[in-house]
Amino acid sequence: MVKMVILGSSYAVADESHENTHMVLIGSKRSVMVDCVCRPIFRLKKAGIDFNGLTGLILTHFHPDHVSGVPLLLMNMWILKRTQPLIIYGLHHTLDRVEHLMRFYGWEDWPNFFPVVFHRLPAEEMVPVLENSEYRIHASPVKHLIPTIGLRIEAIRSQKVLVYSCDTEPCPQVVRLAQGADWLIHEAHGEMAGHSSAYQAGNIAREAGVAYLYLIHYPTGDFDFHSLIKEAQKSFNENVGLAEDYMEIVLDETSL
């Protein structure tokens, strides 16, 4: 089975019911987390996912609400005696800063630390990130305040496609990335520099010809976030929903 599990759906200011936006792609043999915040091993465990099954981590950009959990994930994996390698994917801009951050924690001196491999991606459209027998992932730069990537995930057998915009203003790169996708998970922080409104997300979904739009990275707390569905439907008169914490999207129900 190939499925995406939403581990958090909130924008930068989380609340008691919504953690910062991050997610995990689950396969029979390889599972990859997309961004890492809060208490990552706790969130994985609550979703019924063994942290030792995590083979990779994709970091979309270096903002605290997307990478703040990386040091804790690595330290907890080490304390819990992980031995298998973890591959971390991202742009040079992102991974250079993660390495600098980990040096402040002195991770070079952690005894018997498991291997961590940094896989740096060029800032080009539809760059291959990884591929296995169940799914392939491509990345494209999007328009945020700092270098950032969106992701296109294709299930090999079912040919279902899920796209994650990450944090971005409306831009043609996301339209091309999401072309003909079954699901587009698009941010709805609000119309401002580096972000999009729900209405703008609907426009992107319509232009890309996607089947279903999920809004994510939306304001939570006292904000009436359920109103975002109607806002998006003004520009995308199709299927629209809110991504919620621990929601699952199944791309392929077949088991290897």
Mean pLDDT (the chain) is 96
Query: pLDDT for 187-229, tens place per residue?
Result: 999 999 999 999 999 999 999 999 999 999 999 998 998 899 9
* Global pTM value: 0.97
Backbone angles phi, psi at 136, to 5 degrees: -130, 150
Distance CA 30, CA 253 (A): 15
Q: What's the pLDDT score for residue 29?
A: 87
As a whole number of angstroms, the distance between CA 239 and CA 241 comes to 7
pLDDT confidence bin for 256, thresholds 50/70/90: low
Scan for tokens 């987390």, then name that residue.
Answer: 33
